[in-house]
Structure formats: C-alpha cells, structure tokens
Amino acid sequence: KGALEYATEKLKGDREVVLAAVTHNGMALIHAVDKLKGDKEVVLTAKKEIIRKLSIGENSLRRLPEEWKADKDVVLAAVTKDGRALEHATEELKGDRDVVLAALTQNCIALWYAAEEWKGDK
C-alpha cells in the first residue's frame, strides 16, 4: 500500500504529489482524484512504473484494476514475465496475436487462457 492511500483529499488532488507517488508505485493512481486520473503525464508515469514492476516480477496482472488488464503494453509486460498472466487479461487481449504469442513463448500453459480461436488448431 502506498502513502497516497492515506493522504488527505487535498494531497490526492495535488498534481506534483500524485506524480511523485506514481513514480514509485503506479498503483497509487487509484487513490488520486478523478481529474488527475485523466492527466496524460500522470497516467503515462503510472503505466511506465506498472510495466517496470511487471517485467521484474514485482507486480501481478491479477492485482491490477480492470483498465490496466485491457492495456496491451501492460499485458505484454506481464505475460512476457509469466505467460500464465494471460488468464487475467481482457477477452480481447486473450485473442491478440502479439499477446498470445508472447505468453506462449514464456509458458505453453498459457494456451489454456487464450481465446477459443487459438485452441483446436491441428
């Protein structure tokens, strides 16, 4: 858990505070005020940190909010580290060629979680 979770509403609405928080923990974005959740720089900084942590195994796609499970870059980082993370991607990304191939390259068990069109090919 990050400090932003326990911050005052004023701090959760302070762009610089939120930017500093998401630089260290991308998940802190969920505690920011809605206005900052739409701030491009804040969101990209959070995304970069989430991808970094996924790529080194410090985070799990399963624990991320739904909107991140629909982000191709985030899901690619997760399945490249652990192909079984495909289980937690959106249905659309479970059918995405790049995502599925990255998952299968890491762990062939990922096929269990791929979209139906990937199964049954002989």
Q: Residue 73: which domain range?
A: 60-122
**Looking at residues 91-102, what average pLDDT do you find?**
98
Q: Which of 9, 32, 59 is the last residue of a domain?
A: 59
**Token pair 């996924």: residue:** 54
Residue 9 one-letter amino acid: E
Own/partner contacts of 88-96, CB < 8 Å, gap of 24 or more, are 88/60, 88/61, 88/62, 88/64, 89/61, 89/113, 90/66, 91/115, 93/69, 96/72
Do 25 and 41 belong to one domain? yes
Question: Tens of pLDDT along 27-64?
Answer: 999 999 999 999 999 999 999 999 999 998 888 999 99
pLDDT tens for residues 112-121?
999 999 987 5
Same domain, residue pair 4 and 43: yes
Asked if 39 and 2 sit in the same domain, the reply is: yes
For residues 28 and 55, state if they share a domain.
Answer: yes
Q: Identify the DSSP state of 36.
A: H
Residues 15 and 72 in one domain: no
Question: Is 122 a residue whose pLDDT tops 50?
Answer: no
pLDDT of residue 121: 57
pLDDT at 1 over 80: no
* Shared-domain flag, residues 104 and 51: no
Q: Which amino acid is at 88?
A: H
